[in-house]
Structure 1
Amino acid sequence: MTYTDSTRTDATTAPGTVLVLGGTGKTGRRVVALLRELGVETRAASRSGDTPFDWSDPDTWQPALDGADAVYVVGPESSPSPTPAFVERAVAAGVRRLVLLSARGVDAPGHFSDAVGAPHRESEAAVRSSGVAWTILRPGWFAQNFSEGVFLDGVRAGELALPTGDGTASFIDADDIAAVAVAALTEDGHAGEVYELSGPRALSVADVLDEIAKVTGVRAAYVPVEPSAHRAALVAQGMPEEEAAVWTEAMEPILTSREAPLTDGVRRALGRPPRDFADFARDAAAAGAWA
């Protein structure tokens, strides 16, 4: 049996067992669902998943890896990264294919601070030098941050305060990220590829809230704030100081519109354009995201 994307002509035989790290997360659970729809033997690995896995506990790595042929790698955003040690363990265990979730701009000087970019660069270097087939995904900011992530509470409360000014980003649907990951895990033709993933148009946060309002009938207000005020607000809500600083720094590329340029990764990987934010918003509203 073969597994293909309907828009592609290349295919490969069934990939054996696929281990999906972060199997309950935004992209991971979508990757798991798509693989299982294709009939691929899939392990959803996380601290709360079907397959126990904890980045901070290397004793959980080997049981998750035993018998796995391919791995979707979602590493922690901390440096030094544990991903290189995991990749070494995975190759020794017989894994033949690695698909890494990285981040947009990690190779561009000044796009992120070292605190944000270093873990991704360390992870990318590890898979590139692994000696097995690898693919790297570099998505920008997820559309799902507004429906199931850090921005959801503000949207629901009717006011979203962020340090992004009038900057724009080409937000990417996590469904597209998952589709590219599954293609790379199950098809030929993706080894050695780095896919830069964006949506089809750049939007400001105010634009995003307009799109959400079109499908919900209720518009949340966008309130631009200074980075220091945003960081302080996160700490006041209970977020650790270091994590609050990283989150605030990660939004600086939106403020400067460094996240705005459109990329062709989805089309190159899947042979189709990425989903528009309006399509994402319609589906998220139908699923009750903002109810």
Structure 2
Amino acid sequence: MTNKAQKTALVLGGTGRTGRRVAAGLAAKGIPVRIGSRSATPRFDWEDRSTWEPVLSDVESAYVSFQPDLAIPGAAEAVGSFAELAVRNGVRRLVLLSGRGEVGSQRAEQAVQESGAEWTVVRASWFHQNFSEDFLVESVRAGEVVLPVDGVAEPFVDAEDIAEVAVAVLTEDGHAGKVYEVTGPRLITFAEAIGEIAAATGREIEYLPVTVEQFSAGMVEQGVPAEVVAMLGHLFTEVLDGRNAHLADGVRRALGREPRDFRDYAKRTAPTGVWS
């Protein structure tokens, strides 16, 4: 696939952590980008299937990121239906952002693989940016991070790496039919991750492990919707049980370089003031 032949690339979740980086990477290569989100025009909403077909007009490739998570009931079916519709509308290449160690993600992968598209799966673990661009940022600012996980090591991966892999897959040949399992270069615990952030910011930040019941009760008290509390409970009890405590070489296979390290992420992010 060459840039001259490239039609519009659709980026679902194009305002999110990985999607906005994918969109920026594609635009930097001179590729027309259509953002798939509720605030874009045309509008895209996973829960409103009438919005799906309009975003597929004149699209040749698509980055598929499901919200809020592939672990929720019905996610795989929705992704499969979208993939089939995309193929019927002339989309040739689909790149699915999948989750490591999630049964729902595996079903979504299979649905995309069976869609008839030229597919690639980017299977990721927890993002570095969960600490600076998602629900953990406020806890880090407050100086106390409370989570229901203790001692389990994770291969946190940088969203920048995920985006670079996705851009390569969307713009280059040779990636079709491959699963790129992407991780960082080392395993670290959540407590160690908070320690890295504390060192980078020069602040005291405490990590406090609690039970899932205590964590869920705290989320409810903060007004977090019940479905989000249930999803987080699932992720912390099933996905963060040590099943992902091993490294993978997806970044190296796709990009020919080593993945970014969490310590470098913390040092790069601290000067932005997001944790101040």
TM-score class, shorter-chain normalisation, is: over 0.9
1:151-185 CA distance string (max 9 Å, x none) = 11111000011111111111000000000111110
Separation (CA, whole Å) in 2 of partners of 1:95 and 1:252: 37
1:61 aligns with 2:52: yes
Give secondary structure in 2 for the equivalent of 1:181: helix
Paired residue secondary structure (2:160):
helix
Secondary structure in 1 matching 2:213: helix
The verdict on how the C-alpha distance between 1:269 and 1:129 changes in structure 2, with shifts beyond 3 A counting, is: same
Q: What is the aligned partner in structure 2 of residue 101 from structure 1?
A: 97
Q: Is the 8 A contact 2:184 2:260 kept in 1?
A: yes
Mean CA deviation greater in 138-147 or 41-50: 41-50
Q: Contact 1:21/1:28 (CA < 8 Å) preserved in 2?
A: yes
Q: Which residue pairs with 2:183 in the alignment? A: 198
Q: Which residue pairs with 1:244 in the alignment?
A: 229
CA distance in 1, matches of 2:36, 2:272: 25
Distance 1:278 1:154, change over 3 A: same
Whole-angstrom distance in 1 between the partners of 2:5 and 2:173: 11
In structure 2, the partner of 1:35 is 26
Give the stretch that moved more between structures: 234-243 or 20-29.
234-243
Change (3 A) 1:262 1:253: farther
State the Cα RMSD in Å.
1.6
Among all aligned residue pairs of Structure 1 and Structure 2, give the percentage whose two residues are the same amino acid. Answer: 49
Residue in structure 2 matched with residue 133 of structure 1 by the alignment: 118
Q: 1:259 Cα shift?
A: 2.5
Residue 11 of structure 2 contacts residue 62 of structure 2 at CA under 8 Å; is this kept in 1?
yes
Match of 1:111 in 2: none
Which amino acid is 2:74 matched to?
P
Aligned to 1:48: 39
Q: Look up the match of 1:80.
A: 74
SS in 2 for 1:251: helix
Task: Give CA-to-partner distance per residue, 1:181-210, whole Å, 9 cap, x none.
Answer: 111101111000001111001111111111
Number of aligned positions between the proteins: 271
Q: Give the distance between the partners of 1:40 and 1:67, measured in 2 at CA.
A: 13
Higher deviation after alignment, 155-164 or 121-130: 121-130
| More off after superposition, 184-193 vs 77-86 | 77-86
Q: 1 CA distance for matches of 2:175 and 2:109?
A: 15
Match of 1:175 in 2: 160
1:9 matched to which residue of 2?
A: none
The reply to whether residue 24 of structure 1 matches residue 20 of structure 2 is no
> What is the match of residue 219 of structure 2?
234
Q: Are the counterparts in 2 of residues 170 and 259 from structure 1 also a CA contact under 8 Å?
A: yes
Distance 1:214 1:241 in 2: 35
Return the TM-score normalized by structure 1.
0.89
- Unpaired runs of at least 5, structure 2: none
